Amino acid sequence: MDEIVLRGMAKWPDVPAVYGWLSLDARGQWLLKGERIANPGVTAFIGRNYAHDEEGRWFFQNGPQRVFVALEYTPFVYRVVNSRDAAPELETHAGKPVARVCGAWGDEKGAVLLETEHGIGIVHDGDLDRLIASFCDAGGAPLDDALLEEGMEALQRGQPAPLWMRYRGAIVRVEPVRSQAVPRRFGFVPCPVQPAGEKACP
């Protein structure tokens, strides 16, 4: 976190948290009361000070105040950030590079989710074609279009598929998952609410 945030937390440790103001959509955009935050300096500040508590609630630490985040889907959104003539390189929606993919899933709507060193996240829908092109068989060989399409359709039906994903030389299996099961499976709270009895922000 930013040093100014850490100093604020130390100086004012009991500032009431905020609920219901900030959200993250499935394309990695921050929204304040439903309106997209367009200022790049503000979005970068939020991204640098984005974390979670022991209950799996994600928040933006705004100085001494914790602003809990409602998630449209997952805590992270992953983007492919390099050119098309190279193997995909990923970053989080907050601009943090991805060194390792340790799991991959496809849901019933055709979305692809990845677990990295940062956590679970959905792949931005505008980058799906780039990423899916790196899917392969168990030995790392490329798949033809028919096999790839059949595999993706099987995942949407909730069935196992002979699909793997290569990232930085490592290969992980792509498994089916239901979107409703994602928060519990990966231990996060999609929409934090103020606990009964907790002091409210005025």
Taking phi over 0 as left and psi of -120 to 50 as alpha, with beta for the rest, 77 belongs to beta
**pLDDT bracket for residue 11 (50, 70, 90):** very low
Amino acid 148 reads L
Predicted local distance difference test score (pLDDT) of residue 12: 44
Lookup result for tokens 């498994």: 175
Banded pLDDT at 140 (limits 50, 70, 90): very high
Tokens of 5: 């945030």
* Residue-range domain boundaries for the chain: 3-72, 76-185
Q: What DSSP designation does 94 have?
A: T
Q: Give CA–CA dist 71/81, Å, rounded.
A: 23
**How far does CA 109 lie from the centroid of its chain?**
16
pLDDT for res 200: 56
What tokens does 73 get?
């889907």
Gap between the Cα atoms of 158 and 176, Å rounded:
5
Average pLDDT of the chain, as a whole number: 91
The string of pLDDT tens digits covering residues 66-121 is 999 999 999 999 999 998 888 999 999 999 999 999 999 999 999 999 999 999 99
pLDDT for res 195: 82
Confidence of residue 13 (pLDDT cuts 50, 70, 90): low
Task: Say if residue 151's pLDDT is above 50.
Answer: yes
Task: Return the CATH fold of 3-72.
Answer: duf1285 like fold (3.10.540)
